[in-house]
Amino acid sequence: MKRYGLIGEKLSHSFSKEIHEAIADYTYDLMPLSREEFPRFMEARAFTAINVTIPYKKDVIPYLDAIDDAAKAIGAVNTIVNRNGRLIGYNTDYTGFLYMVRKHGITLQNKRVLVIGNGGASAAIQAAVRHEQAAEMIVVDIVKGNGAISYEECFAHHLDAQVIINTSPVGMYPKSGASPLDLALFHCLEAVLDVVYNPLSTKLVLDAKDRGLPGVNGLEMLVAQAKQAVEHFLDTLIDDAVIDTLYKKIERERNNVILIGMPSAGKTTIGQSVAQRCGKEFIDMDAYIVENCGKSIPQIFEESGENGFRARESEAAIALAGRNGAVIATGGGIVKHKVNMDYLRQNGIVFFIDRSLDKLITTDDNRPLSSSAQAVARMYEERIELYRKYADHIVDNNTTIDACAERITEILNR
Ligand SMILES: Nc1ncnc2c1ncn2[C@@H]1O[C@H](COP(=O)(O)OP(=O)(O)O)[C@@H](O)[C@H]1O
Ligand SMILES: O=C(O)C1=C[C@@H](OP(=O)(O)O)[C@@H](O)[C@H](O)C1
Ligand SMILES: [Mg+2]
pLDDT digits (tens, 9 = 90+) for 234-274: 999 999 999 999 999 999 999 999 999 999 999 999 999 99
Compute the distance between CA of residue 401 and CA of residue 98 in angstroms, rounded to an integer: 45
Residue 158 confidence (pLDDT): 98
Give CA torsion, residues 10, 12, 14, 15, to 10 deg. 170
Structural domain contains residue 163: yes
Angle at 70 between CA 67 and CA 71, to 5 degrees: 45
Residues 287 and 369 in one domain: yes
Residue 41 CA to ligand 2 centre (angstroms): 57
Indicate the number of domains in the chain: 3
Residue 98 CA to ligand 2 centre (angstroms): 46
For residue 265, the ligand closest to its alpha carbon is 1
> Which residues on adjacent β-strands are paired with residue 215?
192
Compute the distance between CA of residue 298 and CA of residue 316 in angstroms, rounded to an integer: 17
* Helices and strands (H, E) in the chain, number of each type: 15, 16
348 lines ligand 1 (CB under 6 A): no
Residues 85 and 234 in one domain: yes
In angstroms, how far is CA 94 from the centroid of its own chain?
20
Compute the distance between CA of residue 59 and CA of residue 15 in angstroms, rounded to an integer: 22
103 is catalytic: no
Residue 368 confidence (pLDDT): 66
What b/e string do you get for 247-271 counting C-beta neighbours within 10 Å, with b at 16 or more?
beebbeebbbbbbbbbbbbbbbbbb
**Among the atoms of ligand 1, which is closest to the Cα of residue 270?**
17
Out of 57, 111, 203, 227, which one is annotated catalytic?
A: 57
Residue 292 CA to ligand 1 centre (angstroms): 24
Compute the distance between CA of residue 284 and CA of residue 272 in angstroms, rounded to an integer: 9
Q: Which of 16, 10, 1 is nearest to 228 (CA)?
A: 16
Q: Binding site for substrate: what residues are annotated?
A: 286, 310, 332, 383
Structural domain contains residue 296: yes
Structural domain contains residue 379: yes
Residues 288 and 373 in one domain: yes
Residues 325 and 386 in one domain: yes
Three-state secondary-structure class, residue 329? strand
Range of the domain at 236: 4-90+225-243
Report mean pLDDT in 10-residue bins for the chain, 414 residues.
95 93 97 98 98 94 96 95 97 96 96 95 95 98 95 98 96 95 98 96 97 96 97 97 96 96 97 98 98 95 95 98 97 97 97 95 76 90 97 98 98 93
